[in-house]
Amino acid sequence: MRLPRLQIWSQCRHIASKTDVTKLRNIGIIAHIDAGKTTTTERMLYFSGKTKRIGNVDEGDTVTDFLPQERSRGITIQSAAITFNWQNSFGINLIDTPGHADFTFEVIRSLKVLDGCVTILDAVAGVEAQTEKVWGQAKGIPKICFVNKMDRVGAGFSRTVKELIVKMNTRVLLVNIPVFSQPTSSTEPTFEGVLDVVNKKILRWTPTDVDHVNIEDVENNSPHWNELARLRESLVETLSEHDEDLVEYFLDTANGDYMAVPPEQIDRSIRKCSLANFATPVLCGASFRNIGVQPLLDAVVKYLPSPIEARLPEFNHNLPVEVSNKRGVVVNKNHNLCVAQAFKVITDPIRGIMVYVRVYAGVLNSGFTIFNSTTGAKFKVGKLVVMHANVAEEVKQLSSGEIGVLTGSTVSENVRTGDTIIAHNMKRDGLRSLNKEKELSLKINSIVTPPPVFSAAIEPRTLGNRRAMEESISALIREDPSLRVSVDEESGQTLLSGMGELHLEIAKDRLLNELNADVEVGKVVVSYNETLNISSSLQKRISEDGYHFEICVEPLEAATEARNENEEWHYLSNDDNYLVIEKDTNRLKDLDWPYQIPYDSIVNAMLSSCLVAFQRGGKKAHFPLHSCVVRVKSDWSIPSDLTSVTQILKISKSMIMEALDTIAETDYSILEPIMNVTLTVKQQDMGQVLQDLTGACKANILSIEDEHDVSSEQNFDLTFQTIAEEQYLPSDNTLDRANISSGSSINKIIKALAPVGEMVSYTSKLRSLTQGRGSYHMEYSGMEKVTSDRITTILENY
Instruction: Please report how close the Cβ of residue 287 comes to ligand GTP at its closest, in angstroms.
Output: 4
Residue in 31, 203, 279, 750 binding ligand GTP, rule: CB under 6 A: 31
Residue in 12, 21, 26, 36 binding ligand GTP, rule: CB under 6 A: 36
Query: Is 456 in contact with 521 (CB distance < 8 Å)?
Result: yes
Query: Is 132 in contact with 167 (CB distance < 8 Å)?
Result: yes
SS3 letters across 519-583: EEECCCEECCEEEECCCCCCEEEECCCCCEEEEEEEEHHHHHHCCCCCEEEEECCCCCCEEEEEC
What is the distance between the alpha carbons of residues 15 and 791, in angstroms, rounded to a whole number? 58
Instruction: Please report how close the Cβ of residue 342 comes to ligand GTP at its closest, in angstroms.
Output: 24
Instruction: Please report how close the Cβ of residue 39 comes to ligand GTP at its closest, in angstroms.
Output: 3
Please, which of residues 591-650 interact with ligand GTP by CB under 6 A? none
Instruction: Please report how close the Cβ of residue 129 comes to ligand GTP at its closest, in angstroms.
Output: 13
Residue 156, interface with ligand GTP (CB under 6 A)?
no
- Per the annotation, binding residues for GTP are 31-38, 96-100, 148-151
Q: Which residues contact 195 (CB under 8 A, 6 or more apart)?
A: 176, 177, 178, 179, 201, 202, 218, 224, 227, 228, 231
Q: Which residues contact 186 (CB under 8 A, 6 or more apart)?
A: none
Instruction: Please report how close the Cβ of residue 107 comes to ligand GTP at its closest, in angstroms.
Output: 10
State in Å, rounded, how far the first CA of the chain is from the last one: 65
Residue in 33, 330, 629, 778 binding ligand GTP, rule: CB under 6 A: 33
Residue 653, interface with ligand GTP (CB under 6 A)?
no
Which residue number, 556 or 778, has a Cβ lying nearer to ligand GTP? 778
Residue 98, interface with ligand GTP (CB under 6 A)?
yes
Query: Is 642 in contact with 597 (CB distance < 8 Å)?
Result: yes
Which residue number, 29 or 331, has a Cβ lying nearer to ligand GTP? 29
Residue in 35, 496, 607, 750 binding ligand GTP, rule: CB under 6 A: 35
Name beta bridge partners: 567.
Answer: 582
704 sits in which H/E element = strand 700-706
Segment contacting ligand GTP by CB under 6 A, of 98-106, 187-195, 263-271, 639-647: 98-106
Residue in 55, 91, 99, 418 binding ligand GTP, rule: CB under 6 A: 99
Residue in 115, 128, 151, 576 binding ligand GTP, rule: CB under 6 A: 151
Instruction: Please report how close the Cβ of residue 127 comes to ligand GTP at its closest, in angstroms.
Output: 14
Instruction: Please report how close the Cβ of residue 108 comes to ligand GTP at its closest, in angstroms.
Output: 15
Residue 119, interface with ligand GTP (CB under 6 A)?
no
What is the distance between the alpha carbons of residues 537 and 539, in angstroms, rounded to a whole number? 6
Which residue number, 60 or 382, has a Cβ lying nearer to ligand GTP? 60
Which residue number, 342 or 506, has a Cβ lying nearer to ligand GTP? 506
If you ran DSSP here, which 8-state letter would residue 514 be given? I
CA distance to 202, 283, 343, 534, per residue, from 6 (Å): 22, 22, 30, 66
Q: How many residues bind ligand GTP (CB under 6 A)?
A: 24
Which residue number, 67 or 364, has a Cβ lying nearer to ligand GTP? 67
Name beta bridge partners: 423.
Answer: 338, 370
DSSP 238-300: HHHTT-HHHHHHHHHTSTT-GGGS-HHHHHHHHHHHHHTTSEEEEEE-BGGGTBSHHHHHHHH
Residue 128, interface with ligand GTP (CB under 6 A)?
no
Nearest to 236 by CA among 279, 203, 194: 279
Residue 94, interface with ligand GTP (CB under 6 A)?
no
Q: Show the binding pattern over residues 59-78: x = contacts ligand GTP (CB under 6 A), - = does not.
A: ---------------xxx--
Instruction: Please report how close the Cβ of residue 295 comes to ligand GTP at its closest, in angstroms.
Output: 14
Q: Show the binding pattern over residues 279-318: x = contacts ligand GTP (CB under 6 A), - = does not.
A: -------xxxx-----------------------------
Nearest to 512 by CA among 69, 135, 172: 69
Residue nearest ligand GTP, CB atom distance: 99
The Cα angle at residue 302 between residues 401 and 289, in degrees rounded to 5: 105
Segment contacting ligand GTP by CB under 6 A, of 27-35, 260-268, 411-419, 612-620: 27-35
What is the distance between the alpha carbons of residues 49 and 92, in angstroms, rounded to a whole number? 13
Residue 149, interface with ligand GTP (CB under 6 A)?
yes
Query: Is 127 in contact with 121 (CB distance < 8 Å)?
Result: yes
Which residue number, 121 or 723, has a Cβ lying nearer to ligand GTP? 121
If you ran DSSP here, which 8-state letter would residue 781 be given? E
Residue in 27, 45, 57, 261 binding ligand GTP, rule: CB under 6 A: 57
Which residue number, 36 or 401, has a Cβ lying nearer to ligand GTP? 36
Instruction: Please report how close the Cβ of residue 288 comes to ligand GTP at its closest, in angstroms.
Output: 3
Instruction: Please report how close the Cβ of residue 125 comes to ligand GTP at its closest, in angstroms.
Output: 11
* Amino acid letter, residue 312: L
Residue 747, interface with ligand GTP (CB under 6 A)?
no
What is the distance between the alpha carbons of residues 55 and 41, in angstroms, rounded to a whole number? 10
β-pairing, 90-96 vs 80-86, is antiparallel
Which residue number, 31 or 511, has a Cβ lying nearer to ligand GTP? 31
Residue 37, interface with ligand GTP (CB under 6 A)?
yes
What is the distance between the alpha carbons of residues 722 and 720, in angstroms, rounded to a whole number? 5
Residue 335, interface with ligand GTP (CB under 6 A)?
no
DSSP 90-135: EEEEEEEPP-SGGGHHHHHHHHHH-SEEEEEEETTTBS-HHHHHHH
The Cα angle at residue 55 between residues 52 and 60, in degrees rounded to 5: 145
Which residue number, 175 or 342, has a Cβ lying nearer to ligand GTP? 175
Residue 38, interface with ligand GTP (CB under 6 A)?
yes
Segment contacting ligand GTP by CB under 6 A, of 97-105, 109-117, 458-466, 509-517: 97-105
769 sits in which H/E element = helix 762-770
What is the distance between the alpha carbons of residues 158 and 156, in angstroms, rounded to a whole number? 6
Q: How many residues does the chain have?
A: 798
Instruction: Please report how close the Cβ of residue 207 comes to ligand GTP at its closest, in angstroms.
Output: 13
Residue 34, interface with ligand GTP (CB under 6 A)?
yes
H helix intervals, 157-217? 157-168
Residue 152, interface with ligand GTP (CB under 6 A)?
yes
- Per the annotation, binding residues are 31-38, 96-100, 148-151
If you ran DSSP here, which 8-state letter would residue 727 be given? S
Name beta bridge partners: 684.
Answer: none
CA distance to 61, 96, 728, 733, per residue, from 33 (Å): 18, 12, 29, 26
Segment contacting ligand GTP by CB under 6 A, of 143-151, 566-574, 682-690, 761-769: 143-151
Interface with ligand GTP (CB under 6 A): 31, 33-39, 57-58, 74-76, 98-100, 148-149, 151-152, 286-289
